[in-house]
């Protein structure tokens, strides 16, 4: 009855400790708030979309804004509708039945409004209606219902602990015996065994113990006459395992101590101490077994050292492989992927089936040689970094921006038609022209090509986009030209090529 009550108290303590720890963690905000994380991710997506919208607002291009919003909603189903509202409250752009979905309740968490300013003056707000966040998963339950979930977890820990302790207690049987009943069996044991009385004197030991300690006689001796050290061999053991067992009657198992003898190396021993003839929680003696684990410990220490060296070597190899992978696939100066990665990405997109229609934007910095000649190669490197940063910032995906060589870049746009690709290129062109670097105004020319079918070779895209880029260069630079608008294609190159206003 007392043991069952003790098991109950231990299990209850574990359950209360788990509940307290989880309650403190919840109070301190250590539980992840999955709902807030999802809201923050959606806000970040909406904010990243505000830049291209503001660029179209400067030129009063509401149809282009509507097209961008439709493309944005198609890529992100967690946004139900979107719209552009002026500061006077007039909704000029409505995508996805935004007028019907939007509510004027400022406390509604599904309403997201981003203020946009032009020339330092507020121009209006970009509005998004968010879809409801799915309320699934244990993580969500801990976020919304922390109290019941903590109590349920604590109760589970209590029941599991009580079951394990009770099962272990039923199996435990304290070894019992007497000096007389074990005397005849001692010498048959290969393990060193001895028995001490209540005063700590060795009253019986076997031949293995005599061989281990050099005491072959059967005379009464005190165990304290030997030099017992800790496992490191640096300090004497204050309380030996059998002395502790004599004091409280509890068995000790698997304790490692050292035995030091003159002229010999330190021997490491694994000690098991079991009380004998327990009466009134006070043992009459203790049976002790000593297992020599010196060689085992030396091998274990050597294995630990080897494993440590292997982990260190593995980490170094992984780091080197990561560096080699970056050098093989990326341009170290601009952070864009290189020409080799372009072909790998193209093949991967074709294999995935998510390819056509596919557009390619080629970008070439205007008069870049003049920048290097007049301002130095250090400034030229800054210009390349600046252009690369703008390309990666305005491209739909950073993994689709490549530096082909020199001052030439390209952006691969799978599943994006010619019109949308032209709008992206125009936004990038304006961003480059309107953002000087180190006081130096830089422009770039662009060539576009769009495939409406899947082609196993990317050379058609590169070749035709380069022809369109060549036309932009010879048509005044700082402009965007689509391959379909070239004279040899349709006879009029002015329908898709625009000079900045």
Annotated domain spans of the chain: 2-30+136-171, 34-130, 179-292, 295-322, 339-490
C-alpha–C-alpha distance, residues 81 and 131, integer Å: 9
Fold of 34-130: Beta-Lactamase (3.30.450)
CATH class, domain 179-292, is alpha beta
Crossing angle for the helix pair 34-57 and 62-75, nearest 10 degrees? 160
Predicted pLDDT of residue 435: 93
Say whether 339-490 and 179-292 share the same fold: no
Cα distance between residue 223 and residue 409, in whole Å:
83
The two structure tokens encoding residue 256: 């490692």
**Known catalytic membership, residue 407:** yes
pTM attached to this predicted model = 0.41
Residues lower than pLDDT 70 in the chain? 1-7, 11, 15, 19, 22-23, 25-34, 106-107, 134-147, 149-151, 162, 167-184, 215-221, 224, 278-281, 454-456, 491-501
pLDDT at 219: 55
- Within 207-281, strands assigned E span 221-222, 227-229, 252-260, 267-279
Residue 500: what pLDDT? 34
The pLDDT of residue 281 is 67
Q: How far apart are CA 193 and CA 183, in angstroms?
A: 11
3-state helix, strand, coil in the chain (%, to 5): 50, 25, 30
**CATH (residue range 339-490):** 3.30.70.270
Of 66, 127, 407, 430, catalytic: 407
* Residue 184, pLDDT score: 65
């Amino acid at each position: 009855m007392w043991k069952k009550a003790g098991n109950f108290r231990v299990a209850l303590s574990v359950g209360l400790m788990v509940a307290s720890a989880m309650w403190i963690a919840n109070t301190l905000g250590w539980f992840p708030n999955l709902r807030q994380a999802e809201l923050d991710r959606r806000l970040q997506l909406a904010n990243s979309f505000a830049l291209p919208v503001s660029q179209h607002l400067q030129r009063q291009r509401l149809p282009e804004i509507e097209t961008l919003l439709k493309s944005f909603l198609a890529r992100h189903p967690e946004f139900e509708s979107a719209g552009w509202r002026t500061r006077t409250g007039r909704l000029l752009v409505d995508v996805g039945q935004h007028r019907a979905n939007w509510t004027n309740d400022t406390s509604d968490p599904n309403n997201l409004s981003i203020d946009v300013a032009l020339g330092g003056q507020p121009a209006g707000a970009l509005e998004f209606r968010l879809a409801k966040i799915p309320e699934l998963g244990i993580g969500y339950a801990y976020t919304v219902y922390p109290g019941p979930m903590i109590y349920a977890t604590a109760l589970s820990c209590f029941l599991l602990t009580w079951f394990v302790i009770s099962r272990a207690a039923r199996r435990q049987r304290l070894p019992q015996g007497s000096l007389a009943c074990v005397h005849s069996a001692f010498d048959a044991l290969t393990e060193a065994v001895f028995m001490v009385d209540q005063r700590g004197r060795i009253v019986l030991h076997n031949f293995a113990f005599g061989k281990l300690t050099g005491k072959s006689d059967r005379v009464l001796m005190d165990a304290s006459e030997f030099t017992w050290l800790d496992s490191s061999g640096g300090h004497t053991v204050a309380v030996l395992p059998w002395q502790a067992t004599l004091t409280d009657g509890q068995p000790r198992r698997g304790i490692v101590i050292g035995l030091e003898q003159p002229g010999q190396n330190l021997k490491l021993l694994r000690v098991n101490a079991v009380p004998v003839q327990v009466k009134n929680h006070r043992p009459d003696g203790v049976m002790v077994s000593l297992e020599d684990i010196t060689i085992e410990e030396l091998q274990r220490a050597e294995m630990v050292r080897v494993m440590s060296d292997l982990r260190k070597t593995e980490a170094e190899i992984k780091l080197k492989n990561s560096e080699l992978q970056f050098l093989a696939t990326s341009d170290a100066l601009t952070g864009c992927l290189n020409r080799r990665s372009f072909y790998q990405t193209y093949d991967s997109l074709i294999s995935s089936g998510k390819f056509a229609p596919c557009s390619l934007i080629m970008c070439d910095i205007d008069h870049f040689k003049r920048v290097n000649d007049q301002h130095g190669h250090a400034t030229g490197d800054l210009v390349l970094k600046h252009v690369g940063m703008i390309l990666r910032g305005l491209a739909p995906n950073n993994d689709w921006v490549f530096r082909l060589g020199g001052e030439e870049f390209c952006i691969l746009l799978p599943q994006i038609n010619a019109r949308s690709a032209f709008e992206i290129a125009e936004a990038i062109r304006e961003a480059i022209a309107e953002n000087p670097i180190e006081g130096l105004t830089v422009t770039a020319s662009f060539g576009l090509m769009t495939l409406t079918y899947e082609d196993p070779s990317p050379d058609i895209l590169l070749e035709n986009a380069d022809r369109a880029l060549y036309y932009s260069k010879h048509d005044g630079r700082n402009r965007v030209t689509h391959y379909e608008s070239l004279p040899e294609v349709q006879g009029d190159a002015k329908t898709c090529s625009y000079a900045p206003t």
